[in-house]
Amino acid sequence: MKGAQVQTLNEVIIQQQSAFPYAKGELSRLLTHLGVAAKIVHKKVNKAGLVDILGEAGAINIQGEDQKKLDIFADKTFISSFKSSGIVAGVATEEQDEIVVFTDNLSVNGNYIICMDPLDGSSNIDVNVSIGTIFSIYRRISSPGTPVVTEDFLQEGNKQVAAGYVIYGSSTMLVYTTGLGTTGFTLDPSIGEFCLSNQFMETPKEGSIYSINEGNYIKFPQGVKDYLKYCQVEDKSTNRPYSSRYIGSLVADFHRNLIKGGIFIYPRTSSNPRGKLRLLYECNPIAFLAEQAGGLATNGYGKRILDVKPKELHQRISFFTGSANMVKKAESFMSKYDEKQ
């Protein structure tokens, strides 16, 4: 019997390269660097229970949340891999207040900038639950040869040239898009390669999972409360009641819903009136992937996430994403109230 043909991340990237708008091989190289950094973080995540890497590092990031050691490790690993690629001129990361500007001779001429959440779901590190890394790649606006500026990072999500995430779960997977569909790779630790596992990922138009932190119920806008009631009411013709599933790692919650069909909601609440998730590091890349898989991503108030013009690096936003019909349904409940975002 003929063995199955395995296609590695690098092979697929090279095949797709000719379709990139700026096909100088740069973006391919960048994605390759990213894959290597992901493998390094994967290794560390897998050893997290064994070595002294668990626990809080004693610093608080810009969002006021405790940084865990792995957050810092992942942040450093990805930043140094982007720097050594020589193609990236700077990075904005959830973990650092200001943009990280690369000024060495090679990087300053780089055409790309990155926004990333190096470790997503950090509250789950200590308890052996899936976590992730989210990234987003743009072409810079400022002239190559000069240091990048904050404006380079405040581009609308629809300008992303690539985006993706790594999920460190029961397997480690890398899911990315360059605007040619959403593709998934699974790390085969025995050969140390990401192997093509999910080509042309398509999320079901309709699903039966809703993912939201229901502990915040009393703080939700009325439209969200009404939609949740709709999810819970029995109606066999629409597969209701839906199942409630919430891990608390956006990457893991989104990944499950992407494959099975479902909706993820992190609305604004009375204590987080702008929402909690970050537009640049979390929502834009996830929105790009969702749309490329046939899903939707909005702020719940009729605005496509990818069309929001960011005003600041660490901007937060209300976030609704997943199966297209479910997002539309949730929005129809939201629109009954005179709330605008």
CA 246 – CA 253 distance, rounded (Å): 6
What is the distance between the alpha carbons of residues 265 and 299, in angstroms, rounded to a whole number? Answer: 9
Site stretch for ligand AHG (CB under 6 A), options 17-25, 39-47, 120-128, 162-170: 120-128
User: CA-CA distances (angstroms) from residue 241 to 172, 230, 238, 260?
Assistant: 31, 8, 8, 16
Identified binder of Mn ion from the candidate list 12, 73, 116, 117, rule CB under 5 A? 117
* Residue with token string 């650092």: 96
Using CB under 6 A, pick the residue from 110, 121, 223, 275 that binds ligand AHG.
121
Q: How many residues bind Mn ion (CB under 5 A)?
A: 4
244: contact with ligand AHG by CB under 6 A: no
Q: Does 213 bind ligand AHG (CB under 6 A)?
A: yes
Note whether 100 and 93 are within 8 A (CB). Answer: yes
Interface characters, 45-84, with ligand AHG (x: CB under 6 A) = --------------------x-------------------
Contact flag: residue 122 with ligand AHG (CB under 6 A): yes
Name the strand (E) or helix (H) holding 91. Answer: strand 88-93
Out of ligand AHG, Mn ion, none, what residue 249 binds, judged by CB under 5 to 8 A for its kind, is: ligand AHG
Cα–Cα distance for residue pair 27/71, rounded to 1 Å: 25
Q: Which of 324, 198, 216, 331 is nearest to 262 (CA)?
A: 324
Residue type, 233: V
Choices 136-144, 153-161, 243-251, 287-295; region in contact with ligand AHG by CB under 6 A: 243-251
Report how far residue 246's alpha carbon sits from residue 46's, in angstroms, rounded to the nearest whole number.
22
Report the partner that residue 276 touches, choosing among Mn ion, ligand AHG, none (CB closer than 5 to 8 A by kind).
ligand AHG
Residue from 120, 193, 253, 291 that binds Mn ion (CB under 5 A)?
120
**Which residues, numbered 275-334, are part of the site for ligand AHG (CB under 6 A)?**
276
Distance separating alpha carbons of residues 79 and 41, to the nearest angstrom: 12
CA distance 283 to 276: 10
Nearest CB to ligand AHG, comparing residues 249 and 323: 249
Q: Which residues bind ligand AHG (CB under 6 A)?
A: 65, 94, 117, 120-122, 213, 248-250, 266, 276
Q: Which residues bind Mn ion (CB under 5 A)?
A: 94, 117, 119-120
